[in-house]
Amino acid sequence: MELSVINIKGQATGKTIALSDEVFGIEPNEHVVYLDVKQYLANQRQGTHKSKERAEVAYSTRKIKRQKGTGGARAGSIKSPVFVGGGRVFGPRPRDYSFKLNKKVKVLARKSVLSAKAKANGISVVEDFTFEGPKTKQYLSMLTALALVGKKTLLILPDYDNNVFLSGRNIPKVNITTADEVSTYDLINAEILLISETAVSKLENILNK
């Protein structure tokens, strides 16, 4: 597949770039995409949830009423889960939600999403650029020129560019990452992928190792 390379003003540069079929032209595997996104979201969880069980509630251990003759059920402790303020039965405990996923599965997941985006015309290749300084106005001007204002966009750069990152970080629905850090979740969460010219070849090298 070949795409035209545009500049940040939305104008055609006259150049084209060929996207590798091994990365942008495979048959998407939905299950590996699900697994990779599931792992990403699981890794975001702190797992610090905790509630007190009956052994941890700070109440007296005395028997709250006599065993027989009250006309009600027996009750031995105010800590019982049947009473308001008592301990919780099988409450949540701190745990680690992360799980292992093979590298080949993660690579296939990213290839699957890139291929699906390419097929749906959701990829634009932008000529390599940078900003002289961190200016949100410059990034907004680029989005306006590309008719992407209000759309979820993911800009993939070949390497970290501080000025570009600082320019776009406060704009809603805008995400910026690098070719070696992009995740399946980032790719699938964006409506449009803006990939810089050099980042295309870097992505292909990373995913074809």
Average pLDDT, the chain: 93
pLDDT confidence of residue 145: 92
Q: Edge-to-edge, what's the strand order for the sheet holding 174-178? A: 12-18, 2-6, 123-126, 192-196, 153-157, 174-178
Residues in the chain predicted with pLDDT less than 50, given as ranges, are: none
Residues of the chain with pLDDT > 90, as a percent, come to: 84
According to CATH, the topology of domain 2-46+97-207 is Ribosomal Protein L4; Chain: A; (3.40.1370)
Distance CA 177, CA 169 (A): 11
Q: pLDDT digit string (tens) for 32-49?
A: 999 999 999 999 999 999
Q: At a CB cut-off of 8 Å and minimum separation 6, what does 173 contact?
A: 150, 151, 152, 153
Which of 165, 187, 60 is closest to 112 using CA atoms?
187
DSSP-assigned letter for residue 169: T
pLDDT confidence of residue 84: 92
SS3 44: helix
What letters, b where the CB count within 10 A reaches 16 and e where it falls short, cover 21-31? eebbebebbee
Query: Which amino acid is present at 169?
Result: R
pLDDT confidence of residue 12: 86
What letters, b where the CB count within 10 A reaches 16 and e where it falls short, cover 117-132? bbeeebbbbbeeeebe
Q: What are the extents of the domains in the chain?
A: 2-46+97-207, 51-91
Q: At a CB cut-off of 8 Å and minimum separation 6, what does 109 contact?
A: 29, 32, 33, 35, 36, 37, 184
